[in-house]
Structure 1
Amino acid sequence: MQLYNTLSAKERAELIEAAGKERLTISFYQYAKIENPQQFRDDLFVVWDSLDVLGRIYVATEGINAQLSVPADNFNEFKTHLDTISFLKDVRLNVAIEQDNFSFLKLKVKVRDKIVADGLNDDTFDVTNKGVHLDAVKFNEILEDPDTVLVDMRNHYESEIGHFKGAVTPDVDTFRDSLDLIEEDLREHKEDKKLVMYCTGGIRCEKASAYYKHKGFQQVYQLEGGIINYFRQVDEQGLENKFIGKNFVFDQRRAEKISEDVIAHCHQCGKPCDTHVNCANEGCHLLFIQCEECAEKMNHCCSDECKEIVALPYEEQKKLRKGKDNSNKIFKKGRSEVLKFKK
């Protein structure tokens, strides 16, 4: 029985293009007790592979976190399958604002210790004692309260291209880095301020809200469904959009436009730009913001050194990478001395 990918990303892209059918990019999560994550993972893979589902899905004893792409023709069958799983019946599905048939090119269902790397010991607090969920209307209303502190629970490279007006945007590399930092900054206001949090789709705020209540914050709120769900409600109900810029997403699209504002700058020349790219040098792969002019000038690279490497024959590039430890450090997000205009 096939329980893993057999096609490369290139081969899958060719099949998607040849099929000529629309696909839907969807994300969802659910905290639930899963007794056998490996068996659950295998069962999901078999069914979803048969439905031509692609994406990145994490399964753990605490639940599931899924970002995926499914053929529009198969959506109803996909949803029917979700509804057969007790804790996923009628789960909220965040449908992408901007669709792209190539948002995901492989089906990866992985068993992890946690569905979000939060670094928390869940046994030390009640993870079900969450904050108050806010829809777009109530979220906009609470932002008008002078006693509200709005906090972006995402990382620096996410908030750099887009965030809510007036939000605190911690300059952190990971979600776990922000938890203690935010508590320290707001320790004098645990009783008198309303702590309102938001993230991409809501999953980070689910755990963070319970954590902050455990830490003594008396008024904790979170944006239901995150930025994705917020904008859909704003669009459908004709509400004021308080988000400026783009919403960073973790697939091939990299971002969705929420407003026409461009609040970031090219990391190489400093001109207004909010387009994230990865350095063309596979041994670097640095994620950074690059405008079209710099992309052409630098051959889609982050530095002159990487530009020189990319100019070499591909076999020479492979030799340079051989034997090197490609740890997560090579995928660092916008942190490099070569980026002159990174804030």
Structure 2
Amino acid sequence: MQLYNTLSAKEREKLIEEAGKDRLTISFYQYAHIKNTSIFRNHMFLAWDALEVLGRIYVAKEGINAQLSVPAENFNSFKEHLDSISFLENVRLNIAIEQDNKSFLKLKVKVREKIVADGLNDSTFDVTNKGIHVGAEKFNELIEDPNAVVVDMRNHYESEIGHFKNAVTPDVDTFRDSLDIIEADLSQHKEDKKLVMYCTGGIRCEKASAYYKHKGFKQVYQLEGGIIEYTRQVREKELENKFLGKNFVFDHRRGERISEDVIANCHQCGKPCDTHVNCANEACHLLFIQCEECAAAMDNCCSDECKEVKALPFDEQKRLRKGKHASNKIFKKGRSEVLKFKK
């Protein structure tokens, strides 16, 4: 019984190309109480592997968070499987605005302590006691409401390339960092202000909304389905789009264009640009923003040092990496000192 992915990314990519069939990039989450996460994880892997589902899925006692790619012809079978699980029946599926058959190249289903790392250790906090969900139309009204504070619950490298008009964008590296910062900044407005939150697909906002209710905020709202669902509703209902720029996504694409506004800059030359890349030096792999001109000049690297390493024979690069952990710069997401025009 196969419970883990056995093909490399290159092998899977070749199979996708040979199949020549369309795939759908989908994300969903659900907070629930899962008792035996290992058994649940294995069940999901077996069912989805049979349907040629690819993606990155986290399972924890508090629920499931999934970002995946499904063959279009298998979508109905995939949906039927979800509906056969009580707490996933009719779960909202966020279908990507821009499709890419190679958004994911492996199926990884992992058991984690939490589906969203929050750094919290409070047994009295109930993650299912969430705030009020609002759609795109109501969210647009709240953005213009002087008694509302709209907060981006994503990290700095996400909001750097795109965010909502009038939104507060905390300069944080992780979700857990933002929880205390936002509470401290808005501590005087727990009674009188509407706290309105958004994120990519809703999962971080849902936990944050429950957390802030737990902390005494009286009027807590979240954008249902996040930026992905907001964009779908705006286009379907022909509403005014109040999102500027790109929505950062956690797959091969790294971003979906929501508006034509380019609000970020190349981290190497400073020209307007909102294209995230990873440094081509595998020992670095830093995530940063790079324009086409700098990509050509720097051979897709973040620094001259990395460019020199990438120019070495592959075996020499591999030898240099041997025994070393991945650089902490990977997790700095554009904070590296080698970048002259970082935010």
Question: Aligned equivalents of 1:165 and 1:330: distance in 2?
Answer: 29
- 1:122 deviates by 4.7
C-alpha distance in structure 1 between counterparts of 2:329 and 2:268, whole Å:
20
- Contact kept in structure 1, 2:329 and 2:336, CA below 8 Å: no
Deviations 1:255-290 (A, max 9, x none): 000000000000000000000000000000000000
Return the letter of the residue paired with 1:214: H
Aligned to 1:36: 36
Kindly state the Cα deviation for residue 326 of structure 1 after the two structures are TM-superposed: 2.2
Deviation for aligned residue 1:118: 1.1
Work out whether residues 285 and 331 of structure 1, in 8 Å CA contact, stay in contact via their aligned partners in 2. Answer: no
- Return the alpha-carbon distance in structure 1 between the equivalents of residues 122 and 78 of structure 2: 31
Cα separation, 1, equivalents of 2:57 and 2:128: 22
Cα gap change, 1:272 to 1:329, in 2 (>3 Å) = closer
Give the deviation of 1:110 after TM superposition: 0.2
2:209 paired residue number: 209
| Residue 10 (1) aligns with residue 10 (2) | yes
**Alpha-carbon deviations, 1:135-174, whole Å to 9, x = none?**
0111111122101100000000000000001100001000
Matches for 1:76-155 after TM superposition, within 5 Å: 76-155=76-155
Q: Is contact 1:152-1:198 (8 Å) kept?
A: yes
CA shift for structure 1 position 208: 0.5
State the secondary structure of the residue aligned to 2:68: strand
CA distance in 1, matches of 2:204, 2:330: 24
Partner deviation per Cα, 1:37-71 (whole Å, 9 max, x = no partner):
10000011111001000000000111100000000
Instruction: Give the total of aligned pairs.
Output: 343
- The corresponding residue for 1:339 is 339
Q: Cα offset for 1:121?
A: 2.4
Q: Aligned residue for 1:157?
A: 157
Q: Percent identity, please.
A: 81
Q: Contact conserved, 2:26 with 2:67, CA < 8 A, in 1?
A: yes
> 1:152–1:169: 8 Å Cα contact kept in structure 2?
yes
**3-state SS of paired residue (2:195):** strand
8 A Cα contact 1:283 1:330, kept in partner:
no
Q: What is aligned with 1:268? A: 268
In the TM superposition, residue 128 of structure 1 has moved relative to its aligned partner by 2.3
Q: Which runs of 5+ in 1 are unaligned?
A: none
Q: Secondary structure at the match of 1:213?
A: helix
Counterpart-to-counterpart distance in 1, 2:141 and 2:274: 28
TM superposition score normalised by structure 2: 0.99
- Does residue 187 in structure 1 map to residue 178 in structure 2? no
Preserved contact between residue 202 and residue 225 of structure 2 (Cα < 8 Å): yes
Deviation at 1:190, TM superposition (A): 1.1
Deviations 1:213-268 (A, max 9, x none): 11111111000000000000000000000000000000001000000000000000
| Distance in 1 between residues matched to 2:258 and 2:122, nearest whole Å | 34
Match of 1:291 in 2: 291
Using the alignment, how far apart are the partners of 1:101 and 1:4 within structure 2?
A: 21
Aligned partner of 2:29: which letter? Y
- Using the TM superposition, name which of 64-73 and 140-149 deviates more: 140-149
Structure 2: gaps spanning 5 or more residues: none
SS in 2 for 1:26: strand
What is residue 48 of structure 1 aligned with on the other side?
48
Local SS of the residue matching 1:124: coil
C-alpha distance in structure 2 between counterparts of 1:62 and 1:251, whole Å = 23
Q: CA deviation at 1:127?
A: 2.1
Deviating 4+ runs (over 4 angstroms)? none
Q: Whole-Å Cα distance in 1 between the matches of residues 287 and 329 of structure 2?
A: 11
Instruction: Write the distance in 2 (CA, Å) between the matches of 1:191 and 1:297.
Output: 54
**Partner in structure 2 of residue 321 of structure 1:** 321
* AA at the equivalent of 1:20: G
Amino acid at match of 1:89: E
Q: CA deviation at 1:329?
A: 4.8
Kindly provide the amino acid, as one letter, of the partner of residue 41 in structure 1: R
Aligned counterparts of 1:49 and 1:62: Cα–Cα separation in 2: 23
Contact conserved, 2:161 with 2:264, CA < 8 A, in 1? Answer: yes
Partners of 1:117 and 1:125 in 2: how far apart?
14
Whether the 8 Å CA contact 1:248–1:256 is kept in 2: the answer is: yes
SS at match of 2:16: helix
Range moving further from structure 2, 214-223 or 239-248: 214-223
